[in-house]
Chain A
Amino acid sequence: ETGVTQSPTHLIKTRGQQVTLRCSSQSGHNTVSWYQQALGQGPQFIFQYYREEENGRGNFPPRFSGLQFPNYSSELNVNALELDDSALYLCASSLDVAGELFFGEGSRLTVL
């Protein structure tokens, strides 16, 4: 059984640029949640996707957007990058909207 995989593992962008992060959910899981983890902090909920629809959003601006595809993989897009967007972005899949979260290893984004 393949776990949650994320790509890329590391990337560096400059302020104002756009970034796309990708996540493949665990087999059989139809729900994906994205979290932002700043250095030395706990993860913060960005949004959740269930069967290709956004199903809940945290306190993040509209320049954070996402997609979920028919195979339940997902993308996180961030436009107009700011220095404070530097963080580890974690994707978690689950069997359903309330199920146990299985996290990937994250994508480390650095904004210069």
Chain B
Amino acid sequence: GENVEQHPSTLSVQEGDSAVIKCTYSDSASNYFPWYKQELGKGPQLIIDIRSNVGEKKDQRIAVTLNKTAKHFSLHITETQPEDSAVYFCAAGPGQGAQKLVFGQGTRLTINP
């Protein structure tokens, strides 16, 4: 079955700097790659997603890149702000869309003022 590895497990950056989180997946049939932000005491919230027919997608300060050949995808956050502090999860969808998502282990991002 699908396996998703996520790095780093913790990341600390200065406010205004960029943050990059990387994930690799194993199942070449996966075709949907969402990123979720989870704040303390809350459920995960989708922040951006990408499908296998697209190499890059951007939404304001957040971008995701996908390399299907290498089976890895990355989240890029620019001009980080204190409210970006949270745990971020990548996931891969081996089924239809967001069905049966396999999540990475998470990255705790801390933005230092």
C-alpha gap A55/B32 in the complex (Å): 18
- The main secondary structure of chain B at its interface with chain A is loop
Task: Report the interface size class on chain B.
Answer: 20 to 34
C-alpha gap A58/B94 in the complex (Å): 12
A56 adjacent to B105 (CB under 8 Å): no
15 A–B contacts from the bound complex (CB under 8 Å)? A40-B105, A42-B6, A42-B103, A43-B44, A43-B103, A55-B99, A56-B100, A97-B96, A97-B97, A97-B99, A99-B97, A99-B98, A100-B98, A101-B34, A105-B41
Shortest 3 CB-CB contacts between residues of A and residues of B: A98-B97, A103-B43, A42-B103
Please provide the chain A residues from 81 to 109 with a CB less than 8 Å away from any CB of chain B in the complex.
90, 92, 94, 97-101, 103-106
Task: Report the interface size class on chain A.
Answer: 20 to 34
Residue of chain A at shortest CB distance from B43: A103
C-alpha gap A43/B43 in the complex (Å): 10
Q: Would you call B61 an interface residue if the criterion is a C-beta within 8 Å of the partner chain's C-beta atoms?
A: no
**Taking beta carbons and an 8 Å cutoff, which residues of B are in contact with A?**
1, 4, 6, 32, 34, 41-46, 49, 89, 91, 95-106
C-alpha gap A42/B43 in the complex (Å): 11
Q: Could you say which residues of chain B place their CB within 8 Å of the CB of A33? A: 99
* Contact of A44 (CB < 8 Å), options: B32, B95, B98, B103: B103
Q: Would you call A41 an interface residue if the criterion is a C-beta within 8 Å of the partner chain's C-beta atoms?
A: yes
* Contact of A104 (CB < 8 Å), options: B1, B43, B46: B43
C-alpha gap A41/B44 in the complex (Å): 12
Nearest Cβ in chain A — how far from B75, in angstroms? 14
Nearest Cβ in chain A — how far from B96, in angstroms? 4
